[in-house]
Structure 1
Amino acid sequence: MKATRVVANVGWEPPSEGWVMLNVDGASNGNPGMAGAGGVVRDTLGNWAGGFVANIGSATACLAELWAIYYGLEITWRLGYRVVRVASDSQLAVQLIKNRQDPIHPYATLLGLIRRKLSQDWLVSLSHTYREGNRVADWLSKHSLVYPYGLHELTSPPSGVVPLLRDDMLGVTFERHVVASSSSST
């Protein structure tokens, strides 16, 4: 099978009417290294509905991504939203959550907590997005390391992220090579 790559314009994708979008990201300075998580909840127009940063100490990039998903779900639930689209730019984290893992997997406990959150009385869609569609969460995850250890809920956006929010609201996109389809070669 050979993957065909094409150039696509990628940007933030607003949720459908009646949904909110939770974009999350984890960042690690090293693998493992000092790590943080960040996320933002937005409505269909891209308006800030809530957000968070979390300084999680030393962790791998994947573990930071999983903490971002967990904290994002926690904050979104607390804000009262019950129809949520979640997007992470970590395909590995999304796959780990969707696929059942061996109970001795190093992240089994956190994966269990995330799955328990997902099984609450709400409608949640979890998917992968490209980094170009996740710039606000990416900024928040990197910015999280200036905060003390722990989770910090943000009722309004930090000033440094406002231009990125504006770009997303305007539909700004970036070119990226993406996999278009798979075809078999004989």
Structure 2
Amino acid sequence: MGRTRMAPHCTLSQVGWKPPPAGWRKLNVDGAANGSQCIAGAGGVLRDADSSWIGGFVSSLGLCSATMSELWSIYHGLKLAWKLGCRTLIVESDSQLTIQLVNNRMDPLHPYAAPLAAIRLKNAQDWIVNLVHVYREGNRVADWLSKHSLVYPYGMHELETPPNELLSLLQDDLRGTTFARSIVSPTTHP
């Protein structure tokens, strides 16, 4: 009997940010690491079903890896969402690796054990949190905030209102602007 093999198949799709369903909030997060200066940061934005800004954050993390910055972005975003009263939350990250790390059991000696434990403690609070992957085109605001965090002093900084430089990206999301992306998916061949 022959083996079935998977071959990649590319589909051109339109990708953009989508608001959460009524009654939910959406938190988009991202991490950034500047390899030349060895500094990292995180950023995120919390919006409602009307695409309205509820809150945002930037966090200058100091020295850490890109994956570590992605994990800390989830933690800081959860912390902010809880503080702002969100109890039904969709968290979107463009890092599939980070989502896998959060969703899988981890050895307590794993290099990412500290942020993973902090995230799990936040997730255990009395709320519903769904962590999902989104392509970078649907995460542009969080991507901008994470890169912008690198100019801030060390620590977490809450943003009650969006920076003026971010308004055009927020308007794109409000209008439902999409971007073409070639998405690779496996297809089965006998």
TM-score range normalised by the length of the shorter chain: over 0.9
Please tell me whether residue 84 in structure 1 is matched to residue 83 in structure 2. no
Letter in 2 for 1:123: I
Percent pairwise identity: 56
The 1:179/1:154 distance shift into structure 2, 3 A limit, reads same
What is the SS of the residue equivalent to 1:162?
helix
> Which residues in structure 2 correspond to 1:171-182 (within 5 Å)?
171-180=176-185, 182=186
Structure 2 match to 1:184: 188
Q: 1:32 Cα shift?
A: 8.8
Q: 1:103 Cα shift?
A: 1.6
Q: 1:116 Cα shift?
A: 1.0
Question: C-alpha distance in 1, partners of 2:153/2:173?
Answer: 28
Q: 1:46 Cα shift?
A: 1.0
Structure 2 match to 1:36: 41
Structure 2 match to 1:65: 70
Q: CA RMSD in A?
A: 1.2
Q: Give the gaps of 5 or more residues in structure 1.
A: none
Q: TM-score, normalised by structure 2?
A: 0.94
Between the two proteins, the alignment pairs up a number of residues equal to 185
The 1:109/1:9 distance shift into structure 2, 3 A limit, reads same
**Deviation sequence 1:135-156 (CA, Å, 0-9, x none):** 0000000000111100000000
2:28 alignment partner, one of 13, 23, 38: 23
Letter in 2 for 1:141: S
Question: C-alpha distance in 2, partners of 1:45/1:58?
Answer: 37
2:170 alignment partner, one of 159, 165, 168: 165
Question: C-alpha distance in 1, partners of 2:151/2:95?
Answer: 23
Segment drifting more, 31-40 vs 70-79: 31-40
Q: Which runs of 4+ in 1 moved over 3 A?
A: none
Structure 2 match to 1:122: 127
